[in-house]
Amino acid sequence: MRLLKSKSDQELIQMYVGGQESGLEALLNRYKSKIYTSIYMKVKDEYLAEDIFQETFIKIINTLKSGKYNEEGKFLPWAIRIAHNMIVDFFRKAKRAPNIVNADGFDIFEVLEFSDESAESKMLKKQVDVDLKKMIQKLPDDQKEVLIMRHFCDMSFKDIAEITEVSINTALGRMRYALSNLRKMIEGTDLTLQMGYL
């Protein structure tokens, strides 16, 4: 398994397409918490998020098996785009718009526990202070979405713009507002910033 961790996304996809199931398993382990987080952040329902997460991976498997995958080096943004489309489809079928209003007590960081306590998520928990988590939850949803996609899903602004269906300038603007709002909230508190992007 250690050997698989050193392989690129493209190599793992080629392994899977070539008949080695371990390639897909390694990809799933690498990205499941980020993809699940991106879904849960939008639907704010644990069971619905798990259903959409499973449907997303069925779609990913079917696309890979059919040989239609051609997003070289862009697996995560591609997978998150599929998840985003699944969410849109779900709400279209339900004939109602997704609930954008933030549910009280929703904690994006608890969702990261969905991963098998990876070194990355352990480090994240140590790094992020409880007060900072509360502050992030107070941000407007469009700002919070960009901040989470950028810093917890490691996505580029180009990919964020595509998924959220806004221009790159709008995505950048939302990020600037998010950071500005966080700085204002932090002023006058004892919170020391441990997250490099602030």
pLDDT for position 65: 86
Query: Predicted confidence band at 113 (pLDDT cuts at 50, 70, 90)?
Result: very low
Question: Contact, 164 vs 143, CB < 8 A?
Answer: no
Query: Predicted confidence band at 106 (pLDDT cuts at 50, 70, 90)?
Result: very low
pLDDT for position 56: 92
Question: Contact, 194 vs 128, CB < 8 A?
Answer: yes
pLDDT for position 39: 86
pLDDT digits (tens, 9 = 90+) for 20-32: 889 888 988 898 8
Query: Predicted confidence band at 53 (pLDDT cuts at 50, 70, 90)?
Result: very high
Query: Predicted confidence band at 107 (pLDDT cuts at 50, 70, 90)?
Result: very low
Q: Report the mean per-residue pLDDT for the chain.
A: 75
Q: Tally Cβ neighbours within 10 Å of residue 97.
A: 8
b/e per residue 141-154 (b: at least 16 CB within 10 A): ebbbbbbbbbbbbe
Q: Tally Cβ neighbours within 10 Å of residue 31.
A: 20
Share of the chain above pLDDT 70, in %: 71
Question: Contact, 153 vs 76, CB < 8 A?
Answer: yes
**CA–CA distance, 113 with 118 (Å, rounded to integer):** 9
